[in-house]
Amino acid sequence: MRLRVATAAVALAGLGIAAYLTAVHYGGGDPACFIAHGCTVVQNSAYAKLAGIPVALLGLLGYVALLGTQVRDTETTRTAATGVALVGAGFSAWLTYVEVMRLEAICAWCVASAACMTVLAVLTTIRLIRAD
């Protein structure tokens, strides 16, 4: 039960971050950049969309899916959660690489979301492995 609660809490934090970045994208503004000053560069780059869909929206959908998998504790929901989190963590790792190596700009919001998704990948994998 603790892992489910921890997973839901981290997914809620990630959802908040992704919702903010999605709202900024559709609102046409620039994200507040309180640590690094590359948020606008990252948000306005060609990498901020995948097949025309904002990456922030994809993250939002991923966090919603992860929250949805916490409602029930079955092998199917644990497996789905692990799959979503691992794909999300891998995609976040690639996006972090893009920020550093290609854009030479860091978005603190993106790093925070990547950290959430990495923690979620660990938590969901542990839940899947420890399942009775």
Q: Is 37 helix (H, G, I), strand (E, B) or coil?
A: coil
Average pLDDT over residues 21-30: 91
Where in the sequence is the domain holding 109, given as residue range(s)? 2-130
pLDDT in tens, 1-16: 888 999 999 999 999 9
pLDDT in tens, 51-89: 999 999 999 999 999 999 999 989 999 999 999 999 999
**Alpha-carbon distance values, 23 to 10, 57, 87, 97, 112 (Å):** 20, 9, 23, 24, 17
Looking up residue 45, the CATH number of its domain turns out to be 1.20.1440.130
Number of domains in the chain: 1
Average pLDDT over residues 32-46: 84
17, 113 contact by CB (below 8 A): yes
Residue 132 has pLDDT above 70, yes or no: no
